[in-house]
Amino acid sequence: MQGYINRVSLTSKMLIITVFVGAAVWAASDFILSDNIRLIVNKQLDKTLSRQAKEDYEAFEDYMDHYSQLAKLSVKGSNFQRYINNLREYPAEVKYYDDAPDWFLENSLLRMFSYVQYALIFDFRYDVKEVYQAPGEPAPKGLLKMMPLQIDSSTMQNIIMTIENKQYVFASLRFESQNGKITGILMVAAELNSDLLSYVKFNNEDSIAALTGNSSGLKEPQIITSNNPGLVPAGTTYKSLEKDFVIIGKKFLDNAAIDKFGLISLISKKDYRQMTNDILSKERYYRAVTAVSIILAVMLIMLWLTRRIRRLRYRVEEFSRRSLGKKAVGLKKGDAIYILEQRFQSLSSNVMTRTTELNEAVMELAVTLRRAKKMQEDLLKAERFASIGHISGIMAHEMFNPINSVAIRTQKGIGRIVQTSTLLKKLLGEIESLNSFIQGAEKTSAADVETYQRSIAAIVRIANILLMEQEERNGDLNFINDTIAAVITTISNLQQISSMEKHIEPIDIPAMIREIIDDMYEEIKERGIDITASLPKAPSVMMDKTDIYTIVSHVIKNAAESIEKNTQPNAGQIRVELLVKHDAISALDRDTGKVLKQDAIVILVKDTGVGIPSQLWQTIFEQGMVGESRRRMSLSIIRKIIRYYFGDISVTSSTVGVGSEFQVIIPCKPV
């Protein structure tokens, strides 16, 4: 049996287990959580319905306020005022109206405003004089014979009162004519029935609003009316409602005069259960969707894991075959974990066999590493000698050019000296001829005068030639002097970088650049150049102090010489800026041989010089490209010094006639 199980693939087993466990967990959670969720849903539903019942009560109270507003609106209306002012006295008999009288609002406006059944005018003795009653709804006698106290209690407010075993809401307002002769009271009233409740805008359509009352003759509260008399008829006792309805709100009315009236909200238990079940069904559906989603996600994860396990098994087999020379034995198809376990057991046995061999090899490797480290140190020294040899070649090239030029100028100078000697001999002969002519001046003929004039012209011509030769010799001497100075500068630079031992130490780059600018300030100022710098705090750099001084000072010198050659009016500005860039350089660690990402210090030197054509941005750093000045060090040497520290120098921007920007980048940490 165990062997058969091991032959079943891990993917199939994991899928079956995932589906079974997921279904079992969902069923258990549904059984456990359903009752708790039902309680929570019922509580939440009760809160929601209670809030809606409170809103229904507020809507009913707002509607009741319409009656006092209607009484005030009627008395203040122009129709009523005109009627009262024209009335000399009240009629002897009570006058009834089935349609809206002239002194009252029109029927269309009444229906728009509120549900009004009756409007009565009482005189100052509280006797009724005129009555408006809705068609087919005669006013009850108790309403026509109300006590003064009852009428006064409704002045400017709404009250609910039982009259002839029916409940009415009414409001009244006193009035008088303009001449003060006619005074009285206007009262509007309506029975509290289902028609009135239909005018109230209740918020919850699923619930039933009902008025309850507990008159003095009743033992328990009863339903006075409801907005659904078919389900909750008038006269239904409060207790009988509890069998079929859930009472979700009960508020006593503040404007009940004597009897105690209230407003309740009801919802049938069938609807209540249906609402609960609907919510539970949705919740169960969401949980089922969630469970299926989780099962699918777990299945995908299992598929991914089994795939990785198979890959791991293949790698173990491949490792055993290639590294240890052992082929896989046992099952090749089936449970991937079981097969992987077999492979690891075989691999562990093979590894133990090889461990002894490796221990012996480690001893030999330790000896080899010591030898390799010694070879690495020798190699670094050889690299240093090679670097110096390359730099020396560059220096030899730069010294050869000016010395060769000096030799050419010297040979030309020797030729001019020989030519000058010939001219001097010729000049001496002309002078002797002129002297003989002067001594025999008394015997001078016209031909002699012409000869005299030619001698004078020859002397002048020879003198001018000698003067020009002298000026050329002066130029050659100046050139030789400048060239010797350039060679001396080159030799000095070679001395600075030729030392085998570099004193590597932490260098504060901002402070070093300030020191360099201070040292060069007077020289640059004499050239009519302004130099500014932006030097924020930066990490220290491990370098030789002489090297960083040589690099920065020569880049600034190059910028100054470029500015001197620029004839544009805005030339004369050098700007030095310092930046820190993260992970800017990939450098090889000499100890570990790993490529490391390094933060770097970036030095930008901007000038307003003659600029560099774009095609020369790279070639100016090649060997022999010194530029027009013989006094400055070759940029190829500067780059060589910088690259010793795994840094670099480049032209980042340059426009002919506008200026250039050089960038020097150096790692913050030694590598």
3-state helix, strand, coil in the chain (%, to 5): 55, 20, 25
3-class SS at 193?
A: coil
Give the pLDDT confidence score for residue 626 in this predicted structure: 46
pLDDT at 24 over 50: yes
Distance CA 671, CA 595 (A): 10
- Count H helices, E strands: the chain? 14, 17
Q: CB-based contacts of 390: which residues, under 8 Å, 6+ apart? A: 640
Give the pLDDT confidence score for residue 627 in this predicted structure: 47
Q: What is the pLDDT of residues 447-501, one digit of tens each?
A: 666 766 676 677 667 666 766 766 666 666 666 666 665 555 555 555 555 544 6
The whole-model pTM stands at 0.40
Distance CA 173, CA 151 (A): 9
The two structure tokens encoding residue 398: 């730069």
Give the pLDDT confidence score for residue 575 in this predicted structure: 94
Distance CA 234, CA 415 (A): 144
Highest mean pLDDT among 386-390, 450-454, 539-543, 574-578: 574-578
Distance CA 23, CA 35 (A): 19
Give the pLDDT confidence score for residue 629 in this predicted structure: 42
Question: Residues 152, 154, 156, 157: is their CA dihedral positive or negative?
Answer: positive
Q: Judging by beta carbons within 10 Å of its beta carbon (0-12, 13-18, 19+), is residue 552 exposed, middle or buried?
A: buried
SS (H, E, C) 199-238: HCCCCCCCCEEEEEEECCCCCCCEEEEECCCCCCCCCCEH
Give the pLDDT confidence score for residue 585 in this predicted structure: 77
Give the pLDDT confidence score for residue 305 in this predicted structure: 76
First-residue to last-residue Cα distance in the chain: 63
- How many CA within 13 A on the CB side of residue 7? 4
CA distances, 554 to each of 515, 631, 633 (Å): 14, 10, 7
pLDDT at 559 over 70: yes
Q: What is the pLDDT of residues 59-83, one digit of tens each?
A: 888 888 888 888 888 888 888 888 8
Give the pLDDT confidence score for residue 631 in this predicted structure: 35
CA 243, distance to chain mean position in Å, is 61
